[in-house]
Every structure is written in structure tokens, then in C-alpha cells.
Structure 1
Amino acid sequence: MYAFLLSTAVIFVAELGDKSQLMAMTFATRYRARDVILAITAATAIVHLASVGIGVAIGASFSDYQGTISIVAGIAFLGFAAWTLRGDELTDEEAQKAKNSSGAALLAVGGAFFLAELGDKTMLATITLATQEGWFGVWIGSTVGMVAADALAIAAGVLLGRQLPEKVIKYGAAAAFVVFGALLIAEGAGWL
């Protein structure tokens, strides 16, 4: 349960202000929100299952070095904070592709999200979490966290148009990563 709750919170925060949220809002202007959310869920579950597998393999290979893994994970989270501050933007070309996608909504949205998430900070954060936490909780939690953040973006996009307080979201997410990173480093160094 701890792995589920931690992963849900971390990935939800990681997804705030991410390009995937912008994609979700864009797809929701063309397709039904329900179809967009179903496609995001399927693509996310697949990517995060692979991420968890990678994380578990890394964690098992270095099980004698848990302190070091915690410190490296903490440093990674500080990097995610910097990445969040740098921000992600959906280019005009990407937005146009999202709007003009042909084919069924589930395939178009699912395929786009699958490809967009490969190597993204949420994938890397999921790998990082899976090095230390239970794989199933991390998988389900990371999927729920990402889908919840993207569903929030869709709802906010519908309610608020495109007037989201981007700076507040960006700084809040970065601050949360700094806190998680500092806690992991402190744990790995034996200070907690």
C-alpha cells in the first residue's frame, strides 16, 4: 500500500505541467474525454509496467547498495525538479498532429501517449521508485497518478480553457521533487 500511495503522489506531481497534460487537453478537443482517458490509461499501464520491470531489475542487481541507490534516487529527483522548472511545451506541430490524428481515438491517443512517455520524467521516476518499492504498488500507483493528473488537465482545460496557472503548477511540482529528493538522500546517507 505504501508503494501505491507514494507512487501515485510522486507521479501525479511529476505529470503536472508535463507535455502529456497538454496532449491530453488537445486530444480532448477532438475526441470524447472518456476515450482519451481510456487510451491514456492503457498506454500508461504498458509503459509503467516496463518501467517497473527495469527498476526491479536494477534494485535486485544492487540490493547490497540500498543506501547508494537511495542517494542516487534522491539526486535523480532533484534532477526531475530542475526538469520540471525547465518545463515542457507542446509545439504547434505536435498540437496540430494531436488535433488531426486519423483513426480510432483509442489508437491515435494511445499510440501518441505511449511514444511520448518513453524516456519521459514520469517513466524515469517510476523506474527510480521501483528500485526500492514493491513492483505492483509502484505500477498501479504510477498509472493512477498519471491518469489522474491527465484527467485533471482535461477537466481544467474544459472548465478554464487554456488559462491554467502554469507557474504555480511548475513551482509546486518542482518543490515536491526537491522534498522527495532530499528525503531519499537523507535516508541513503543514514540521517533518517
Structure 2
Amino acid sequence: MEAFLLSTGIVALAEMGDKTQLLSLLLAAKFRRPIPIILGILVATVFNHAFAGAVGGWMTDFFGKDVLRWVLGVSFIAMAIWTLIPDKIDDVETKHERFGVFMTTVVAFFLAEMGDKTQVATVALAAKYSAFYAVVAGTTLGMMIANVPAVFLGNKIIEMISMRLVHMVAAAIFAVLGVLTLLNVGSLF
């Protein structure tokens, strides 16, 4: 349960102001069809985070406990720093209109999420907790918590919430996880 709840919370916070949340806003403004957009986000996220969770699981088998502890600790601290850097949507294309709203969302969202901080967080969380299903379900739920309101309410949410504060809280959580992992405190080590 810890892996699920932590994965949900950390990804929901890290996703605020992220390029995939900006993509959700863009798709909602462009197509004005929230249901296919939300379903597209869900499908893309499940596939992307399942892949990331599998990589995290592989890491636990590949690395020894001490090496994995250091890799994860440093990764969480790097995620804390990365979370403080605002994302832009400049490099994300949505020129797949001929595929319809759903497939455009799936393709654009999947590509935007590749190498994104929430995907990297999914790898690290899956490696730390060795709980593939709990982590993938949690990170997917966190992604949906951040993006569904963006699809329905758009810029109103962004204007109401201090993105700087949200990023600082998410960064603090990543940093604490990193330090605890390096100090060998936690459920895995």
C-alpha cells in the first residue's frame, strides 16, 4: 500500500506544470472533446508506466543491493533537482490529427512521457519497492489526478495553484526519498 500511495502522490505533484500536463491543456483547447482525450491519456500512461515499471523491476534483479541503493538514492536526488526546472511543450508535436482525438492523444502523450521525470520516477519507485503493479497503478493514478482536471478546467487550475510551491513540495519528497535511500532507511534495504 505504501508503494501505491507514495507513487500516486509523488507523480501527481511532479506532474503539476509538467510538459504532459501542458499537452493535456493544449489537446483540450484544440479538440474540445474531453472523454477521448482522457482515455488517450490513460492508455498512453498505462503503457508508458508499465514499461518503466518493468525496467525498474529489472534493475532490482540486475544490480546488487548496495549498488541499487546508491543508484536509487542519487536518482531520487536528481529527480528533486529536475522537478524544480519548469517544463515547456516546445518539443511536443500534435500533428497526428488524421488519427482522431483518441489516437492523437495516445501517440502525443506517450511520446511526451518518454524520458519525462514521471517516467523516470516510475522506474525508480518500481526498483525501490519491487511492487510492479502497485507502482504502475499509483503512478498512473497520479498522472490522471493531475491531468483530468487540466482537461476539464484548463488554465483556471493553473492560475489557482502556485506551481512553484507544488514543484518545491515534490522536490522535497524526492530529496527525502533520496537521502533515506542513501542512508539505508526504508522498506527495500
User: What is the TM-score when the length of structure 1 is the normalising length?
Assistant: 0.84
**Is 1:24 matched up with 2:24?**
yes
| Whole-angstrom CA distance in 2 between matches of 1:69 and 1:188 | 13
What residue number does 1:109 align with? 105
Question: Structure 1 stretches of 5 or more lacking a match?
Answer: none
| Whole-angstrom CA distance in 2 between matches of 1:101 and 1:155 | 20
Question: Structure 2 stretches of 5 or more lacking a match?
Answer: none
Alignment length, in residue pairs?
185
CA gap 1:174/1:69 in 2 versus in 1, 3 angstroms:
same
| Whole-angstrom CA distance in 1 between matches of 2:153 and 2:57 | 35
What residue number does 2:44 align with? 43
**Within 5 Å, which residues of 2 pair with 1:1-192?**
1-29=1-29, 30-62=31-63, 65-91=64-90, 94=92, 97-98=93-94, 101-133=97-129, 134-157=131-154, 159-160=156-157, 164-187=161-184
Q: Higher mean Cα deviation, 82-91 or 66-75?
A: 66-75
Contact 1:41/1:147 (<8 A) preserved:
yes
User: What is the TM-score when the length of structure 2 is the normalising length?
Assistant: 0.85
Identity %: 34
What is the CA distance between 1:188 and its match in structure 2?
A: 5.7
What is the CA distance between 1:67 and its match in structure 2?
A: 3.8
What is the CA distance between 1:119 and its match in structure 2?
A: 1.1
What is the CA distance between 1:161 and its match in structure 2?
A: 6.7
| Whole-angstrom CA distance in 1 between matches of 2:3 and 2:132 | 8
| Whole-angstrom CA distance in 2 between matches of 1:40 and 1:177 | 24
